[in-house]
Structures are given as C-alpha cells and as structure tokens.
Structure 1
Amino acid sequence: MKSIGGPLVCLAACVLALAAETCSAAGTLVRVKDITRVEGERENVLVGLGLVTGLQGTGGKNPITREFILNLTQKFGIRAEPELIARLRNDTADKSDNTSVVVVMANLRTGRKPGERIDILVSSMDDAKSLNGGVLLPTPLVAVDGQVYALGSGPVTIGGFTFSGEAASVQKNHPTTGRISNGATVEKETFAEPLAPGRIQLLLLNPDYETARRIAGATNSKFPGTAGVLDSGTVQLVPPPAWNGVVRDFAAEVQQLTVIPDNVARIIINERTGTVIIGENVRIAQVLINHANLAISTAETPEVSQPAPFSEGETTVVPRTTVDVIEEKKPLTIIPETATVNDLAQALNALGVSPRDLSSIFQQLKESGALQAELELK
C-alpha cells in the first residue's frame, strides 16, 4: 500500500505514478519479524504533566497555567503570601504567556534498560498558541501502575510554525504539539511476560488467516512440524528438542524467515490532509461514471444614484449583483472491471478527481456494490 497526497491539481497524477510503483512491488518478501511480535513483548504507555518554558508570548494564560507555576515554585521552596496566591490564581494581569502546561507521553518497550533514552511527545494542555522555542522542564513519566519509569526533558521541536499580525496570521502543521528526540531517560525497566515452557506464540500485527498460514508454512519448511495456526492473529511454535533450552533463539530464527503477506483490499481517504491510500487488492466492477462540477460565482458592482439638481432628493447606493453558473462539461467515463491498482489509477486520472471527489465516488461505488474493498473515510 502506498500513501498518495499533494496538491489537489496533481492528485490524480500522483495516484497513477505511485499506484504503478505499488504494483511493481506487489508480492515482495518480508521478514516474519517485521509483521509479527512475540507474545509477552509489548509497549507500555507512559504519561506525565510538565511545564514548557521559554516561549515568546505564545504560552498559556488561563488559571491552570498560573496554578501549575505556583505549585512548581513552592516545590523549590519559594513561598508566597496568601494574597499573592489568590491573585495569581484569579488575576490575568499577571503574565504567564512564556510558559505552557503540557501532557508528555512516551512508549516504553519491554527490555529497555535504565539509562537508555526514548522519544517523547509533548502537547499543550492550556490555551497556548505555540510551543515553538520552548524547553520542557524535567517531568516524571508514570505507567498505569503509578510508578515512575522515565524522566523527560529538553527542547521541543514542533515541525511547524505560526506567525500573526494585526489582521492576518499564517500557520503550518500543529504548533501546540511537538516531539523531543531521545527526550526521556529510562529509570525503571519493564519486563516481558515469561514464555510458556516449550511453546512460543507469534502475534500478527495485522491479523489475517492467509498470512498466518504462510508463516506457519515457511516455518515448517525449515523446521518440520513445529508451527500451527491458532487463529487469524496467532501462529504457535513448538521448538524442536534441540532448541528446548534456547527457546528465544528459536524464535529469533523463525523471525528471520521471509513470507509474502496477504493484505485486505482497503481504501483510506483523508479529506482533511488530501491523502489517499489504495490497497493493491482493490477491485471494481465495470461501471459508468459521470462526475461534473458546478461552479457558481457572484460579483457585487454597486452603483451610485445621484438625484437631479434642486430636486431635494438623496444620493443612494444601488446594489448590482451578477451571478454566473458554470457547469464543467466532462464526457462519460467507463471504468472497466479493474485487475490492478494501476488500472484503477488510470481511470481516476482520466476523471481528474480531488480527494473530496474520491470520497463521493467511492461511497457511491460502495453503495452500488461495485467496489470490492473496505472503505475508510477519516
């Protein structure tokens, strides 16, 4: 599957080019390691509340920001009088827009040792406008058991920007969400669940009976009688007697085997970002499509009506509105029963469709029963 995006005017051309690339890569061998994980191994989600400082007037200004700053200063032994505390909590005249309260998240995989570093995600919790240029103060990250497993800190990278003036502003991406590469230090290790004696289960990242069958077949070709399919998402391995003492080594050997995974026919359309993803197994029955656009334009050309001299009349503005309706003429397009994504891309390219057009077309094809694929609209 390939991701297709870009300016709307060249979307169909991108669909054609990348779909052709997809077809050429169809049937590629991949490692079992890249499409499965060993049972017991997992990622633990860590979360914490922190404070980003050093913002240039783009931080938060609401009560939660001032309350967080007050609590932080008190932890460092800076005491405040009750009157000052009440004012900081309620009076917006006290500036706090160089700071922002943020939610910090990280994924900690099993086997990470104390002292290793992991990436973290930082997102604003208050009314901050941007985290650009900010630095995250040391923030404890806890798991579901309430224990601290990592400590995050460092400069925030947002991958975008926001600029504004008196009457206009411009923004790229989401300036209130950023990342810190290697921004957290692991303080406590998480352990994988112990493997059952003499048994290993491989869990498919994308459950599919055919893919599971192929993994079991590849395993049995090298280690006869050691693999079986339990369900669409699980392949069970029973190590040969020679590997009983080194079960994890056997799992590593199996993960290096290669198979061709089987994918569900699926189309994903995200109208907000202009992204279209078409799976290689998508098929469409023969249909006839006519997709025309209706453009309506209006123009205001007001005229001034001046009364005759000495008529005691008043000068008035008379509205004049011009409305033009233009319907784009497109020929009927017949889409034959498609055999590949390339065929489908060529048909869509002939229509010159945009992501919003694709959304409408595919929904109608799904309702008519001509689309043999799952359709996801985001």
Structure 2
Amino acid sequence: MAQKTPFALSLSKGFSFLLGKGRKGLRQAQPERIGKVVGALLTIACVFAAAPAQAERVKDLGQFQGLRANQVIGYGIVVGLAGTGDDSLEYATQGMKGVTARFGLTLPPGVNPQLKNSAAVMITAELPPMAKPGQRLDVTVSALGKAKSLRGGTLIMTPLRGADGQIYAMAQGSLAVGGLGVDAQDGSKLSVNVPSAGRIPSGATIEQAVDTGFGTTPMLTFNLAEADLTTALRVAAAINANLGNGRARAVDAVSIAIDAPPGVETRTMLMSQIENLDVDPAQAPARVIVNARTGTVVINGAVRIRPAAVSHGKLTVRVDENPTIVQPAPFSRGRTALEPASDISVEEERNPMFQVRETASLADIVKTVNAIGASPADLVAILEALKQAGAMKAELVIL
C-alpha cells in the first residue's frame, strides 16, 4: 500500500504559521517554544507519513479516449440594449442587415442603421461528451466591439459551429449580466465587474451529436491525466485482475489499451466497470514548487537532501538623509540654503552554518531553513543552490 507524504507550505509573510516568529525564525525564539513547536511539527509529519493512502478510482485518474468535450462558437447580435450598444460599427451593421434579410426585409442602399441598442457578440459553449440532440447548454456571450454593457439584452437566434464548420447547436435567449457600468455627463465612469459579457443559462439547444467512435474502434484506450509509468502498469494490472488476464496492457506512460467486444452497449457496461476499479497510484516524484510572484513554496514529502552545509546572511545598506537649513547673517546678501547631510551605514547579519544530515526528511528541511531565518524569497535561492550542488535530488518548478 502506498503511503501519503506530508507537504510544507510557506506564505509570502514568512514561516510564521510554522514557528510563530515570522522571518526571524528560531534565532530569537524562546528555547521552550522552539522545542514545543518543532516537536509538534515532527509529530504531524510522522502522522502524515504513517497514514496509508486511500486507493483512487480509475475514473479519477483519467478518461477514455473519445469521451471528451468539444467547443463550439458563433457570431451573433444582441438587441434590446438601453443605448449601450456598438452604435454604427461596420461589422455590427452588416450583422444586423443579415438578421433582417432572414425575414425578407432589405434595407435601402446606403442606409446604415444606428445600432445604439444592439451589439455584435461572440457566443461560446462546450458540448459535453455524448451530448444528444435536444439537450440544453449554457452559453457565454461577449461583446465584440464598443458596447459598454449587455445588461437587459436578448441574443437573436445564432448557430454555433464546431472546428469542422458544422452546426451543432442553436443559441438564443435573454442575457444574465453580473456587471454594471454607468457613465456621467462630466466624463466620470463607474464599472462593477465586467458588464460587456454575460451568460444565458440553458441558452442553446443541441442540434447534432458528435460521433465519438468508441463503439467501433478496434480497442478501448484509457488515458491518464498525468503521465506515470508505474500508475499505468497498476491500472492495467487492476483491469486484468478483475476482467481477465491479458485484457489490458500499458502502451506507454499515459495510455492503457483494453481489448473489448464491439458495440456501444457492451462497451458502455465494460467502461463503467473499469471506471469504478480501485488503484493505488504511484507516489509523486520529488518536486519543489515555487511561485515567485506570491512567495508560496510547496515541498512534497518525497524530497530528500544529501549531506550539505547551509549558511545564510543578509547585507543591509542604509542611507539616512538629514539636510540642514543654513541661514545667512543678518543684513547680508546671502540666501537661505539647504546643506545636505548623509549618513551611510552597512549592517551585515551573520548566521552560523547549519549542516543538513543525509536522508533529511521534510521536517528537517523546514527546521533548517527556519533556523537561519530565511524568507520565502531566500528559500528559493537556498533550494536552487542545493540543487546546483547536487545535494537535492528533486525537480524545482518556478511558476
């Protein structure tokens, strides 16, 4: 049975949640508090390390090939706006002429309607796997031009096409806009959220189903969400143990090929059985994730460090400006002057060198970096140096 591994999380304000002392760490903390906090940290780490991992269902590890969502898109016109539309943009005008032409109405040559109460929009939606004609979809409507707000508008019937150019759904309905925009006569503006985009719940009707082809393919293929050779082999072994030896085989780190008789109904039952099988996924590789923008550092429990010595110090240069006002002598032609006075001081914070023993655990790593008072930004530099020195065998990912 695989084991869960603990992880460490460091926020941009330092490690205060671990030791309650912020960036100063253990250096200025009371010895009794240090012992209690470090002891509690090690206890929590041991509890997580001893807790067995729960087996996961196959359906939570990936999906069958062909059962995926498909995006559709369309171009349409929203009408009924309260003067917040596109005005006289050319593509909005052409779109309105196309709409009116459907009903046999042809505008005179050279006449361009003023479209303050309408707007050109793009409609996007996502067809779920195995979607059938007659089912409803939620659609997102976004302004394409200068429309200030779509609040109160109604989308005119618009076809939604797939990547192959075919029509898969028809959209129409009243928009639900969460944003609000107000303009005053003096030019001031107030905007809440985004008033130029909205949604139509169940605003599209599916007209054509997407052929998945999984009922006629030579075999079923299950694809893992994350590539892992060990997990792929364990999924294939679980399928063979429950459905017959030799039924499934791992093609690569992502795909598991499964022999299945043809037929939609037969394969649907087989896929349902496979999805509900329990599998113990492989332990994640040693990895350190660093978000340089927020200062968040995540270390998983698989990270190990070889013998190494760590030292961390800070050099602070401080410049104080204390200008002095110099007054001229009475009845002289001199002028009041500002005499600069600068005071420069350099302070170097000295920290002792800490040794990290071999096979250091996650708790030892956290304890060490807190002991030298490292902030999240400093921790990134320390981890990079340990990796360059060959003392840390882990993937360092910087977001």
TM-score w.r.t. the length of structure 1 is 0.69
In the alignment, does 2:283 pair up with 1:249? no
C-alpha displacement at 1:230, in angstroms? 1.4
The aligned counterpart of 1:143 is: 162
The aligned counterpart of 2:35 is: none
Amino acid at match of 1:146: G
The aligned counterpart of 1:223 is: 243
The superposition leaves residues 204-244 of structure 1 with CA deviations (integer Å, 9 ceiling, x where unpaired) of: 11111110111112122222312212111111222489x99
The aligned counterpart of 2:306 is: 285
C-alpha displacement at 1:82, in angstroms? 7.6
In the alignment, does 2:225 pair up with 1:205? yes
Alpha carbons of structure 1 residues 141 and 216: separation in structure 2 relative to 1, 3 Å: same
C-alpha displacement at 1:294, in angstroms? 3.1
Counterpart among 368, 379, 387 of residue 358 in structure 1: 379
Secondary structure in 2 matching 1:371: coil
CA distance in 1, matches of 2:79, 2:292: 35
In the alignment, does 2:69 pair up with 1:43? yes
Alpha carbons of structure 1 residues 233 and 177: separation in structure 2 relative to 1, 3 Å: farther
CA distance in 1, matches of 2:154, 2:254: 42
Out of 264-273 and 74-83, give the one that drifted further.
Answer: 74-83
Alpha carbons of structure 1 residues 32 and 179: separation in structure 2 relative to 1, 3 Å: farther
CA distance in 2, matches of 1:325, 1:186: 71
CA distance in 2, matches of 1:341, 1:287: 15
Amino acid at match of 1:42: R
Q: Gapped runs of 5+ residues in structure 1?
A: 89-95, 159-171
Amino acid at match of 1:108: L
CA distance in 2, matches of 1:291, 1:366: 16
The superposition leaves residues 265-291 of structure 1 with CA deviations (integer Å, 9 ceiling, x where unpaired) of: 222211113333333322222222222
Count of residues in correspondence between the two structures: 350
Out of 27-36 and 146-155, give the one that drifted further.
Answer: 146-155
C-alpha displacement at 1:328, in angstroms? 3.5
Counterpart among 237, 259, 266 of residue 287 in structure 2: 266
Counterpart among 5, 12, 17 of residue 8 in structure 1: 12
CA distance in 1, matches of 2:355, 2:49: 22
Out of 192-201 and 205-214, give the one that drifted further.
Answer: 192-201
Secondary structure in 2 matching 1:276: strand
CA distance in 2, matches of 1:373, 1:34: 26
Task: Tell me if structure 2 keeps the 8 A contact 1:104–1:123.
Answer: yes
The aligned counterpart of 2:56 is: 30
In the alignment, does 2:112 pair up with 1:108? no
Correspondence 1:176-195 to 2 at 5 A? 185=204, 187-188=206-207, 189-195=209-215
Amino acid at match of 2:380: S
Correspondence 1:35-114 to 2 at 5 A? 35-47=61-73, 106-114=125-133
CA distance in 1, matches of 2:367, 2:146: 46
Out of 24-33 and 35-44, give the one that drifted further.
Answer: 24-33
The aligned counterpart of 1:234 is: 255
CA distance in 2, matches of 1:251, 1:70: 51
Amino acid at match of 1:202: F
The superposition leaves residues 1-54 of structure 1 with CA deviations (integer Å, 9 ceiling, x where unpaired) of: 88976742244746979x948646663311111102112222323456789999
Task: Tell me if structure 1 keeps the 8 A contact 2:56–2:279.
Answer: yes
Counterpart among 296, 313, 334 of residue 355 in structure 2: 334
Task: Tell me if structure 1 keeps the 8 A contact 2:11–2:297.
Answer: no
CA distance in 2, matches of 1:49, 1:305: 73
Counterpart among 319, 326, 333 of residue 305 in structure 1: 326
The aligned counterpart of 2:346 is: 325
Amino acid at match of 2:294: T
CA distance in 2, matches of 1:54, 1:2: 56
Q: Gapped runs of 5+ residues in structure 2?
A: 20-40, 101-105, 180-191
Alpha carbons of structure 1 residues 349 and 100: separation in structure 2 relative to 1, 3 Å: farther
Correspondence 1:140-179 to 2 at 5 A? 142-149=161-168, 151=171, 154-155=175-176
Task: Tell me if structure 2 keeps the 8 A contact 1:3–1:275.
Answer: no
Secondary structure in 1 matching 2:274: helix
The aligned counterpart of 1:276 is: 297
CA distance in 1, matches of 2:138, 2:8: 27
CA distance in 1, matches of 2:319, 2:16: 29
- Percent identity between the two aligned chains: 30
C-alpha displacement at 1:195, in angstroms? 3.9
CA distance in 2, matches of 1:182, 1:49: 18
CA distance in 2, matches of 1:48, 1:149: 10
Alpha carbons of structure 1 residues 183 and 293: separation in structure 2 relative to 1, 3 Å: farther
Secondary structure in 1 matching 2:13: helix
C-alpha displacement at 1:192, in angstroms? 1.6
